[in-house]
Structure 1
Amino acid sequence: MQIRPLSLLGLLLPIISVQANVEKTIFLAPPASTIPSKEPSLDDLGVERLSPQNSVVRTRLNASFPTTAASQGSDSWFFLENLNPGQRYEVRVCWLSIQPTSFTLTTYPLSQTIEDTALLSSLSVYTAARLATIDSQLQEDAIPRRAGSPREMKSLDTAPSSDSVLFLRVHAAADYFSTNKTLMREVPPVAVDLILDPFLFNVFPRSLVPTAGWILVVTVLSVVLGRWIVGEVGRVIDDARRQRSLEEMKNK
């Protein structure tokens, strides 16, 4: 009887540890919108991009302790592009347990980001700080444009494009206390993986399909094995009953 609770605890512990290191937001991709090629150009912002073709970004995010002015810590911005309008997606941020951090992920349409003064100010501050840390020779490649022929690239430069896009804002707040004064004064950047994961039929995250497959296989094998065990136990019981009946008849 004691094995079952321990086995259940063993199954729950990995789940708990994974949840402690993952935060996500789920959203529907908006309709395609027109992206102007004139200033301010998205290629000049310096933010990293996520798309179904480039679904993982490994980076370091600045974090800070919550304050009155920044109750959710430090801001980081990313650009989600090439989305399929109406499809459900999730963006996950994964980080190490040795860096306790509280993350909040929020997506914003392009128009809202540009029109909202607070959002645009936050984006501007982030991009200015990020571009200042990028070598001037590499700033042109801060956000690579889509691959294509020189004619296509020129067309992209001179005409608006249409795409389903969103801005992703990530708040990172330090979530620890330490006797180390340096750690309390200067929060180190947090190593993270940002993952864009589309839903299949708007129901199930695509990245979980292999896991679901393994669960299905294990479930089928468990049912087959369980039925075999039940049959074998029943056979042993029946044999024992027949043997006992034979012995009773002999004794009579």
Structure 2
Amino acid sequence: MSIILSHLTLILFWLISIVHANTEKTIFLGPPAVNIPSAHPTLDDLHVDVLTPTNSAIRTHLNAQFPNVTWPHGKATWLILDDLVQGQRYEVRVCWAATQPTAFKINTYDLETVFETPELISELSGYSWSRQSPEIEDGSRSKPAKSIQAASSERQASVLFLQILTAADYYTMDKALMKHVPPVYVDIILDPFVLNVLPRSLLPTVGYIVVVSIMSWFVARSIGTWIRVIAAEPSSEKKMQ
């Protein structure tokens, strides 16, 4: 059994190493719930993408640029992490293709920190304005159901801002690519931990490994018994002679 556990540990480390390939992540705890006011401007008025434990993945393009004095870690993208549970551990992963060499830096901030830090609120405001389409500005497009509901009543929620800094991490003789960095195609995933120990997305993999390990133990035991029986047969024949 100890051998099986050793193999299981090795497989888990191998899986973790695969997950880390082309992946940047941050781990954090859900903050205490705060009062989300109904008066405008609300969080919905920011028009940024929202991740929740039930709507936990977004596939999108992130604007990137080479680091400079203004953006030492690249271009900033903002999201909202909503419907969290206080004290629960979460993981946010950004996954991208190896064909787009990129360096990511991921930060989480509570609402108070962002609203009381001039640099952060200015950055968030600029990103929010960049997300405003003409239809939203002139009010010709209706708000989604969640926005209407949020505006109708106050609520208590555990919420964080997610900041993703995206920097191009390559050098090429192609002047166009050096001057105009293409957006990076990514998956952004919010992954709650089960019992604050294991990311929820790894449960099927761990279950599969456990089942295979148990079956392997029974098969190995049967094969061992069969080999011992075969090895004992010549000795029995010699005694009879």
- Name which of structure 1's ranges 107-116 and 202-211 shifts more when overlaid on structure 2: 202-211
Structure 1 distance, partners of 2:49, 2:142, is 7
Distance 1:167 1:137, change over 3 A: closer
Is the 8 Å Cα contact of residues 46 and 142 (structure 1) preserved in structure 2? no
- Secondary structure at 1:146's aligned position in 2? helix
Distance 1:99 1:17, change over 3 A: farther
Asked if 1:49 is matched to 2:43, the reply is: no
- Name which of structure 1's ranges 30-39 and 164-173 shifts more when overlaid on structure 2: 30-39
Deviation per residue, 1:110-153 (Å, 9 max, x gap): 1111001111111112112222xx34258867974528xx8xx3
The offset of 1:11, in angstroms, is: 10
- Secondary structure at 2:100's aligned position in 1? coil
Structure 2 distance, partners of 1:180, 1:228, is 62
Match of 1:80 in 2: 81
Where does the alignment leave 5 or more consecutive residues of structure 2 unmatched?
1-10
Structure 2 distance, partners of 1:145, 1:198, is 25
Identity of aligned residues (%): 44
Structure 1 distance, partners of 2:48, 2:142, is 7
Q: What amino acid sits opposite 1:76 in the alignment?
A: T
Is the 8 Å Cα contact of residues 43 and 145 (structure 1) preserved in structure 2? no
Deviation per residue, 1:185-228 (Å, 9 max, x gap): 21110111111111111111111111111011111111111112
The offset of 1:177, in angstroms, is: 2.1
TM-score by length of 1: 0.81
Distance 1:112 1:66, change over 3 A: same
Match of 2:219 in 1: 225
Match of 2:135 in 1: 136
Where does the alignment leave 5 or more consecutive residues of structure 1 unmatched?
1-9
TM-score by length of 2: 0.84
Structure 1 distance, partners of 2:231, 2:138, is 77
Asked if 1:124 is matched to 2:125, the reply is: yes
- Secondary structure at 1:38's aligned position in 2? coil
**Pairs within 5 Å for 1:1-252:** 16-131=17-132, 134-137=133-136, 144-146=144-146, 153=149, 156-157=150-151, 159-243=153-237, 245-246=238-239, 250=241
The offset of 1:99, in angstroms, is: 1.2
- Secondary structure at 1:126's aligned position in 2? helix
Task: Tell me the number of residue pairs that the alignment of Structure 1 and Structure 2 aligns.
Answer: 231
Structure 2 distance, partners of 1:157, 1:20, is 41
Structure 1 distance, partners of 2:26, 2:84, is 15
Q: What amino acid sits opposite 2:80 in the alignment?
A: F
Is the 8 Å Cα contact of residues 35 and 162 (structure 1) preserved in structure 2? yes
Q: What amino acid sits opposite 1:209 in the alignment?
A: L
Q: What amino acid sits opposite 1:29 in the alignment?
A: G
Bigger Rg, which one: 1
Q: What amino acid sits opposite 1:38 in the alignment?
A: A
